[in-house]
Each structure stands twice: as C-alpha cells, then as structure tokens.
Amino acid sequence: MKALIIDDEPDAIEALHLTLMETCPEVAVAGKYTDSRKGLEAIRRLKPDLVFLDIEMPVMNGFQLLEELGDISFALIFSTAYDRFAVKAFRFSALDYLLKPVNPDELRKAVDKVAEKHRVEKAQIDLLRQQLYHPSARSFDKIALPYAHGYTFVELNDVMYCESDSSYTKFFLNTGEMYLITKTLGDVEDMLSGSDFFRIHKQFLVNMRHIRNYIRGDGGYVVMPNKTNIPVSRIKKDEFTELFKRF
C-alpha cells in the first residue's frame, strides 16, 4: 500500500513514519511533506493508495487541499491534535483519524479499517468541516451512517431510536426508513452522549423527543411514533423518569 504523509510538523511526520514501519510493514511511505502545496502535487503525481493528512497547516489546510483535488480516489486518515469535541465530529462524519501522538495499536486498527473500506465521500468532508469550524453551539445536527456501498447522511432529529443487533445497530427514522450500521449500540451510545438520546434498555437507545407515551409498570415501556413499544429496564427506570420530565 503506497502512502503519503502531509503534516507541517517534521517531528510528527517522522514519528508516524517510524510507527508505520514498526506496526504496518505493508504500508510503503512514498513521500513526506511539510508543505501542503507540495503534498497536493505529490498526490496528483504519485497517485497514492493512502494519505495521512493533518488538518491545521499554514498556507493551505487539509480541507483546502482536498477541495483542490476534487474527487478523493485514495483512502484517507486524518492526524490531529484536536479536543474531545472534535473527535466526536470525526465519528459523526464516519471518517478515520489518529490523535497525536500516534498510538501504535490505533494506527494498526486505522490502517486495517481503510484497507477494507470504500472511498471517502465529499459530503463526509463537508460535514466534518462544518462541525469543526462551527463548534460554538457544541451540538451535532447530522450524522453519516455507513452501509455496504457508501454513506447515508441523516438529520439526528429524524432518528427515533436505535436497536442493538449483535455487533450491529439498527437506526429507525421517523420517515419509516431503517439503516443497519457496523457499530455496536455501546459505540453509538458513546457517540450520541450529550444529545437527546438515552439508553433505555440494553437493546435500545431512544430519542427522548420522539417518545409519544410512557406506560408505567415494573419498568414500564414507551410508545414511539411508529407504534413500537420499547421496554424500560428496571435499573434505568428512575433515571429515565427524571429525564422524561424535562421533555
């Protein structure tokens, strides 16, 4: 796998290159660039399989470089020193990233993941840029859901609830659509933390704003707009009822 590293920090480039040689011998680094413009030229000339790209760089940042390219015909892994909010933005955009300093195990996982995955879509890049550069609201309105042939971009408010399906998760929308993604419900819960979603049961994560009725009982159950009844776990009942009062 032919790769390029584009980062304005020489030390970061060398550290990543060394870690790649130690943990991912199948990745051959064909070029290392601290100048994003030269990195852009190298992408066009060398046609790499994989690019490690920093976001914040002088003259031309990572997003501007990708805009100049147009179609992205290679696998892409961002390297970043961003905060926890930004990490969440990467997850919502379904884009691969590495936090500096790079952890060898995380690097191995990221390379394995991009080796199997389809190409990056422009809409993912646009979604990430919007979330990173408009952080004042500290909220997310849209999420990228991966499927076999690409991504579906949905409004978070349209998601009624999520249901665990072994190592997958089903997203049920108020439009009647359902999407199956390759993430566990625990991963989805972590990603949606701080929003209007609550893990009401080990099998279900619900959007509190879509609950139509709450029927009390041992744990009780909630009724969703599509008339689905979702049980409330007994251990979640008190936390849920307190939260339910706010909606």
Chain CA centroid to CA 224, Å = 27
Rounded to whole angstroms, the Cα distance separating 247 from 244 reads 6
Closest CA to 6 of 35, 49, 46: 35
Instruction: Decide: residue 134, CB within 10 A, 0-12 exposed, 13-18 middle, 19+ buried.
Output: exposed
Rounded to whole angstroms, the Cα distance separating 15 from 35 reads 17
Q: What is the pLDDT of residue 219?
A: 75
191 to 62, 123, 186, 230: CA distances (angstroms): 24, 19, 9, 21
**CA atoms lying within 13 Å on the CB side of residue 244:** 21
Q: What is the pLDDT of residue 206?
A: 97
Helix (H, G, I), strand (E, B) or coil at 91: helix
Q: What is the pLDDT of residue 191?
A: 84
Residues in the chain: 247
103 to 14, 19, 116: CA distances (angstroms): 14, 8, 21
Rounded to whole angstroms, the Cα distance separating 158 from 172 reads 9
With tokens 């609550």, the residue in question is: 198
31 to 50, 59, 111: CA distances (angstroms): 11, 20, 17
Rounded to whole angstroms, the Cα distance separating 132 from 138 reads 10
Element (H, E) at 122: helix 122-133
Phi first, then psi: what are they for 213, rounded to 5°? -145, 155
In the chain, what are the domains?
A: 2-136 (3.40.50.2300), 154-244 (2.40.50.1020)
227 CB neighbour count, 10 Å cutoff: 7
Q: What is the pLDDT of residue 84?
A: 64
In order along its 247 residues, the chain shows pLDDT tens digits of 999 999 999 999 999 999 999 999 999 999 999 999 999 999 999 999 999 999 888 889 998 999 898 888 899 999 887 666 677 788 888 888 888 889 999 999 999 988 877 578 888 888 888 777 765 544 578 898 877 677 888 999 999 999 999 889 999 999 999 999 988 999 899 888 878 999 999 999 999 999 999 998 777 999 999 999 999 999 999 999 999 888 8
32 CB neighbour count, 10 Å cutoff: 18
**CA dihedral defined by 114, 120, 125, 127, rounded to 10 degrees?**
-90
